[in-house]
Structure 1
Amino acid sequence: MPIDKRSLSERDICTQFITPALQRAGWELATQVREEVSFTAGQILVKGRVVRRGKAKRADYVLYYRPNLPIAVIEAKDNNHAVGAGMQQALAYADDSDALALPFAFSSNGDAFLFHDKTRSGDATESEIPLGRFPSPDELWRRYCEWKQLTETAERAVTQEFYSDGSGKSPRYYQANAINRTVEAVAKGDDRALLVMATGTGKTYTAFQIIWRLWKAGLKKRILFLADRNILVDQTKVNDFKPFGAAMTKIEKRVADKSFEIFLALYQAITGTEEDKKTFKKFSPDFFDLIVIDECHRGSAAEDSQWREILEYFSSASQIGLTATPKETTYVSNINYFGDPVYTYSLKQGIQDGFLAPYRVVRIDFDKDLTGWRPEEGKKDRYGIVVEDRIYNQKDFDRSLVLDQRTIGVAKKVTEFLKGTDRYDKTIVFCEDIDHAERMRQAIVNENADLVAENRKYVMRITGDNPEGKAELDNFIDPESRYPVIVTTSKLLTTGVDAQTCKLVVLDRRIQSMTEFKQIIGRGTRIKEDYGKYFFTIMDFKKATELFADPDFDGPPICIYEPKLDDTPVPPDDINQSEPDDLGGLGELDADEDQDARVIYDPPPVGGIDIDTTAPKPRKFYVGDVQVSVAAERVQYFDPTTGKLITESLKDYTRTRVSSQYASLEAFIQTWTSAERKQAIIDELEEQGVLFEALADEVGADLDAFDLICKVAYDQPPLTRRERADKVRKRDYFTKYGDEARAVLEALLQKYSDGGIQSLEDLDVLKVEPLRSFGTPIEIVRRFGGKQGYLKALLELENALYAGAA
């Protein structure tokens, strides 16, 4: 008897028709076919302190020519759909800019396949093919090679597999995209390539896989990995690059041992202002055939830097630049040197995919920041120096003028926030300079004297001039090390520091550079689930987060470089908007630390010595007796649909989101009351960025999701949870049930009154008090004649709660 396909589920269609068709076409099910492939993690959705993940993107089938080469996606539908019903979904998953970046897409309902072929030009790109004529792996690969014009040598590199240690770890989809595109570009002869990947997305692991495949394929034999911080080189050597083993060395002490194949080097260790310091010239210009430059937006970006000299010396080598933040100004350009990025994976995409942590912003403005401050005539600072008479504003604070009470105010707000969350949450406070970082350390110590008494390292200053602080950097970034908890810094921690458990980033520093801003935000974007790190908070005291509203914040890098003549000076504004790049003669000072910040005013000795008012002006004035207070404070949230901050009020934002989903109050009520699970509607709205817990804090904590929406989106008078529960009790709703069932329903009604509709729809509610006292979940549902009877009674209870809402 023939099978009635229309009675089969989608999974049955896959098992009985699609998978056999693939097998007949020569696809190895064990190695070339993967079913139900989740390639994103599901966006993290934060509800107050409750965190959950949204839905992951999942393809029904992904087909692989080699384990490292996904080549096609298939979207299946049941037989009640047309053959091509899944094509748009398949194309969304295969799309170059959004997901798997695959050349071939298929849709099927078990009758045939609709085939979309991106490699075809001129002819129809979509055609229907019978089940028995699905293309073989070799056929699709041949089409791909012709489309990409791969030579035999390039094909050997492209098909070289990823490194695997047997643990099952494999690159995420975007890492595979970045690796495959870069390997393909280099294999085809491109000498320069730029990879742009947001902080926390695994650039170094991606670089390792690129090098591994090119090295194993024999295409590149001697490789140099360049970085500008020792910690970056050392972490790379012992972690991601460890599989290179004895083939790898770090160039140290200006010794050029040429017997290795993989070389890691610190820029500063192989170059300098003097010719005898330029260790890189001990290698011939053609010694390396591949150079990978980590954080290429830094020293090597400028044409006239000492570090660029290294790249130009080895100009015959293929060069790959890695960065989260390509530098593009009129005078410095990564794109001008490397070309347009071969692949970009942005912070916005990483958050939406669930691989990066979302954020919220607490914006705090002090009165003096908003109105400025002018000293009275003859006003002296705490060291007896007359303060220059002018209006000081936010640009001046902690640069030319210090208001001690402002520093204390920041320390109080940071401490207050941590006391409301967890006082052991790892925190970075970014300050204007080293002097500011030290004063901030002192202020935070005084606000947290109890925890500092337990361990003096609770608060530490980590800046380039301080060996004791820098020695604690490894402990701060180690998830298993409790101390230090709070660190104050200037620029030392802006980049290249893998602070996986950092939950609070404090900005008390004016930031004018988009590059620097992105790097600082990147300190919090890593997720560490086993340590409860799913999102982070940015506490902004100097309006730095206004840069989130800049179209360039998460947009594609655009080259605006204008070559300058040799004698054309770089405008000061352009210099000020980029972080220090070239070390020059900074010696032990870290590449990113502000050297001038160490030149601070030295107070005169005590003892009545007259002050020479004709002496040079101090670098800063220090004023301790001016009161500073908080003028405004607001919380902004990450919008999961746009990737931007929610800058309108929470109520207005909710109203916009709900009205885009439900055209009227009647439409919302009808959907709500007819839904078997109200939680499904709540989840859908949360996916759209509606923050119910934050709304409850603002509008009324005793309102459930239904009444919050009715009040905020449609201006309807709400009922509290208790009022809704009391109305049900007054109707004698439970009289049709026996005593035992009535007792359960009464307990459920109380649960609703305490916690809202979500607490009813979770069967785990039967495992907690007071429900647990009625017996096991199985024993409880038996009081209603079984599970279906219980669910029916629960649905009737919910309907009773919202009866008359229309």
Structure 2
Amino acid sequence: MYTRQELKQMNEQEIRSRLISPAIKKAGWSDRQIGEEYSFKANTKFTDGQIIVDPKTTQTKRLKAKRVDYLLYTSTNRKIAVIEAKDNNHTAQHGLQQAMEYARLLDVPFAYSSNGSEFVEHDFSTGVQRTLPMSQFPTPHELHQRWAKQYTAEELKIIQQPYYTSATDHFKEPRYYQEIAINRTVEAVAKGQQRILLVMATGTGKTYTAFQIIHRLKASGAKKKILFLADRNVLVDQPMTQDFKPFKSNMVKVSNRKIDSAYEIYLALYQQLDGEADNELFKQFQPSFFDLIVIDECHRGSAKEDSNWRTILEYFSEATHIGMTATPKETNDASNITYFGEPIYTYSLKQGIEDGFLAPYRVIRVDLDCDLTGWRPTKGLKDKYGNEIKDRQYTVKDFDYNIILNDRTRLVAKRINEFLTKTDRLQKTIVFCANINHAERMTAELSRLNADMMKQNSKYVCQITGDQSDKNADLEEFCDISNESKDYPVIAVTSKLMTTGVDSKTCKLVVLDANIQSMTEFKQIIGRGTRLRPDVGKEFFTILDFRGVTRLFADPTFDGEPVVILDVPESAPIIEPVTEQPNISDSSNTENIVREPEPKPYKEIVIIDYGKLALRILDEKVQYLNEQGELVSEDISTFSQREMQKEFGDHHNFQHEWTNNDEIASKFYTDPKWLAALRKKCDFSDEIEDFDVLSHISFGKKPLTKTERAEKVKQSGYVEQYPPENQQVLGLLLDEYVKSGKQDLTKTEILQNPQFSPLGGLVSIVKKFGGKALYQKAVKGLEKMIYSE
């Protein structure tokens, strides 16, 4: 036993190694059940740490990852408890809130905190907290029994089925949020829930999560025949060769031939199963054939009541249906009954970026003159075919939809090319256009500007739209990173085809040149760049926005949270542009040929040929994600704030440096021109001190006028501690501060100013303070009072 004094002298690590770890092991927890920094399960880090991009250098750094002091596991490798350790100068209760926060985040049922003298426990199933002696930490059996009592024996058989792991297949353990999604889904199925919705941001491993759910349910015997449904070939082919690979010969992709009922896992396109009205392939199966159906990208109409594909789900209504999506569809009508119900778990884009599992983004907003101010044809201006153009104000909503300004296309292509030339001409880029026609013209312009690269490889710029016969092969090559020689295509020009379901891990540039109004579509498009690949230099991506689409980042619905999938009746208005849906033109063809809807024109589309308009870029603004997940502009105040916080850390350090270090005035951010710009930015008058300008900009402090600061010192009682004659001197120095602002008031030369003459001048004044050292000490104290909180 240690004495109280000995406990107080131990640091946290010593408390852990000498007291907490032995107490846990004495309770029967083996090394394999304890996750601790120096234990068998050494990695208690459960996030990677948010990536922050330096706006000045575009270099990246990771913030500190989240980790717990201890994670305890059941014998089936399920996380069951979190323990936070504190030194003995804190109470055991001190770390409980942090332990509970991590337990909630990890979906763990028990949270503990300890200072080496005792444990404090919070049981999430009962809400009860209690204090335990170090010798009475619960055993693995006790905690397991307390957790398991909410389930029947049959449910536990399903729930406790382990994950698939394999060193041969290099199959990784699930991340914490994947584990929660898998566990909650398996538990819901075990309890008999028939309709389940999982919402997980693009790039967070929905297909891997689906594999583990299917594996555990199949291995436990809860589900025997499984159908994985998608609406694009790439969403079926990729899982078969990647995440679903361990299913091997038990898995088959449904073709248009006769169904073979010998398999356990079926992967299929809606279109293939649906077929023609008299040849619906899915009816070759009995309605009870499948007992589990996983619907990928379920926001794209599968659950919509009047959808043709809904008939497939209704036909197999006896099966459990699990819907997976990154962005459920939103509608104005929130009163209808949802198909899947509320999401059983949500892991948002915002969470993924904050955890460091998804790439952050920076935004370059490019404003063209015709977009900002509109465009009106001059009198008598004719289109490409010699017809006079109707006189009206055309806006960005018209361009490439009702009217084509080829000079605008050329200007956008030129700016894209400039960006690539200045950064990396081989960085994977997706350009989203208004429609197929726009994509064709953009492809032609980018090809013209990159003739040298096209000479090296004719697929440097590639149009990947629904009307292209070789789109699937091009898409696969664009996404493929398994072979380093597959650098091409580099620039993929599309409209709707690549908005979803494209696993483009190395995409570094997303270009927006389409009028995107739908939050669903916007989130999906942003998802094309969020996958992280630090091993190939992909740590963030850039959004080059020509249509102001990134204003949607400021929309309250872009909080990373989902919107609900609703059954939309035929009478309900559709508030979202029609999304391209794959269809099969010939039931014998297994390729999904995408039909992109052409926009309803204002009238017959008008084309203004090249060289007739003098268009230009009026403005360009760069924005970055900060550590709080806010999209901020890189302007003078943002730059000053970042640099000062990097230099001083907090306001206290800045305040100390300001009053103690004369060299601070030579720093770049106290340059007179720089400060003048900051004053203008904040609309501050000369009555506001430089100190307050920088404190407000960099640390959010409320600014005070010089008069207010001087008055604050007078009311503090500091001056009154000196004799009356010395009080007069300090009062005159405060007046000098109000008049001139920041200067070194301790310099005795100030005492030669006329206002000090009636008090005897420099020598007499210093003598009355007891000498130069005591005088300067008094004045230094005065300065500290001026700038004190």
TM range (shorter): 0.7 to 0.9
Letter in 2 for 1:258: S
Name the SS of the counterpart of 1:633 in structure 2. strand
- 1:746-802: CA deviations, max 9, x gaps? xxxxxxxxxxxxxxxxxxxxxxxxxxxxxxxxxxxxxxxxxxxxxxxxxxxxxxxxx
Aligned with residue 229 of structure 1, among 232, 241, 244: 232
Distance 1:178 1:255, change over 3 A: same
Match of 1:219 in 2: 222
Aligned with residue 52 of structure 2, among 45, 53, 57: 45
Letter in 2 for 1:170: E
Aligned with residue 177 of structure 2, among 174, 177, 196: 174
> Cα offset for 1:669?
4.2
Match of 2:546 in 1: 541
In structure 2, distance between residues paired with 1:672 and 1:289: 71
Name the SS of the counterpart of 1:422 in structure 2. coil
Name the SS of the counterpart of 1:506 in structure 2. strand
Letter in 2 for 1:158: I
- 1:714-764: CA deviations, max 9, x gaps? 689xxxxxxxxxxxxxxxxxxxxxxxxxxxxxxxxxxxxxxxxxxxxxxxx
Equivalent pair of 1:357/1:524 in contact (CA under 8 Å): yes
Q: Give yes or no for the alignment of 1:118 onto 2:121.
A: no
Aligned with residue 383 of structure 2, among 374, 378, 381: 381
- 1:617-671: CA deviations, max 9, x gaps? 6434233311211111101111331x33225845158659979999996642438
> Cα offset for 1:674?
11
Normalising to structure 1: TM-score of the pair? 0.77
Q: How does 1:677-688 map to 2 (within 5 A)?
A: none
Aligned with residue 496 of structure 2, among 491, 495, 509: 491
- 1:333-381: CA deviations, max 9, x gaps? 9980001001000011100000000001000111111111222344321
Equivalent pair of 1:333/1:559 in contact (CA under 8 Å): no
Letter in 1 for 2:49: G
Equivalent pair of 1:26/1:137 in contact (CA under 8 Å): yes
Q: For the aligned residues, what is the CA RMSD?
A: 3.3
The number of residues matched between the two structures is 661
> Cα offset for 1:453?
2.1
Unaligned runs of 5+ in 1: 601-615, 679-689, 700-707, 717-805
- 1:526-584: CA deviations, max 9, x gaps? 000111100000000011111111111124334484763xxx5343x52x435244747
Name the SS of the counterpart of 1:306 in structure 2. coil
Letter in 1 for 2:194: D
Aligned with residue 135 of structure 1, among 135, 138, 141: 138
> Cα offset for 1:20?
1.6
Q: Give yes or no for the alignment of 1:501 onto 2:495.
A: no
Match of 1:269 in 2: 272
> Cα offset for 1:115?
0.6
Q: How does 1:1-20 map to 2 (within 5 A)?
A: 2=2, 4-20=6-22
> Cα offset for 1:477?
0.9
Letter in 2 for 1:39: F
Distance 1:403 1:100, change over 3 A: same
Name the SS of the counterpart of 1:394 in structure 2. coil
Match of 1:163 in 2: 164
Letter in 2 for 1:73: V
- 1:103-159: CA deviations, max 9, x gaps? 1000011111011111115xxx2111011111112211222223xx31111111111
Q: Give yes or no for the alignment of 1:557 onto 2:544.
A: no
Distance 1:104 1:419, change over 3 A: same
Distance 1:619 1:590, change over 3 A: farther
Q: Give yes or no for the alignment of 1:62 onto 2:71.
A: yes
Q: Give yes or no for the alignment of 1:640 onto 2:627.
A: yes
Distance 1:530 1:663, change over 3 A: closer
Percentage identity across paired residues of the two chains: 50
Match of 1:631 in 2: 618
Equivalent pair of 2:92/2:117 in contact (CA under 8 Å): yes
Distance 1:365 1:334, change over 3 A: farther
Match of 1:365 in 2: 367
> Cα offset for 1:387?
2.5
Match of 1:786 in 2: none
Q: Give yes or no for the alignment of 1:515 onto 2:506.
A: no
Aligned with residue 247 of structure 1, among 229, 238, 250: 250
> Cα offset for 1:331?
5.9
Letter in 1 for 2:213: I
Equivalent pair of 1:429/1:486 in contact (CA under 8 Å): yes
Letter in 2 for 1:542: R
In structure 2, distance between residues paired with 1:435 and 1:577: 17
Normalising to structure 2: TM-score of the pair? 0.78
Match of 1:406 in 2: 408
In structure 1, distance between residues paired with 2:637 and 2:691: 10
Unaligned runs of 5+ in 2: 38-42, 679-689, 699-786
> Cα offset for 1:32?
4.7
Distance 1:321 1:674, change over 3 A: farther
Equivalent pair of 2:158/2:220 in contact (CA under 8 Å): yes
Q: Give yes or no for the alignment of 1:282 onto 2:289.
A: no
Match of 2:444 in 1: 442
Name the SS of the counterpart of 1:49 in structure 2. coil
Distance 1:155 1:337, change over 3 A: same
Distance 1:528 1:711, change over 3 A: farther
In structure 2, distance between residues paired with 1:186 and 1:486: 43
Greater gyration radius: 2
In structure 2, distance between residues paired with 1:563 and 1:461: 34
Aligned with residue 596 of structure 1, among 592, 595, 598: 598
Letter in 2 for 1:472: D
Of 15-24 and 362-371, more deviation after overlay is shown by 15-24
- 1:286-345: CA deviations, max 9, x gaps? 111100000000130321111111111111111100000011214699980001001000
Q: How does 1:323-722 map to 2 (within 5 A)?
A: 323-330=325-332, 336-479=338-481, 480=484, 481-559=486-564, 561=566, 564=569, 568-571=570-573, 573-574=574-575, 576-581=576-581, 583=583, 593-596=595-598, 618-624=604-610, 625-641=612-628, 643-646=629-632, 649=635, 651=637, 655=641, 667-670=653-656, 713=695
Equivalent pair of 1:39/1:56 in contact (CA under 8 Å): yes
Distance 1:333 1:199, change over 3 A: farther
In structure 1, distance between residues paired with 2:392 and 2:693: 50
Equivalent pair of 2:427/2:509 in contact (CA under 8 Å): yes
Name the SS of the counterpart of 1:45 in structure 2. strand
Letter in 1 for 2:437: D
- 1:441-464: CA deviations, max 9, x gaps? 111122222222222211111111
Name the SS of the counterpart of 2:330 in structure 1. coil
Letter in 2 for 1:46: V
Equivalent pair of 1:301/1:332 in contact (CA under 8 Å): no
In structure 2, distance between residues paired with 1:265 and 1:499: 22
Distance 1:158 1:489, change over 3 A: same
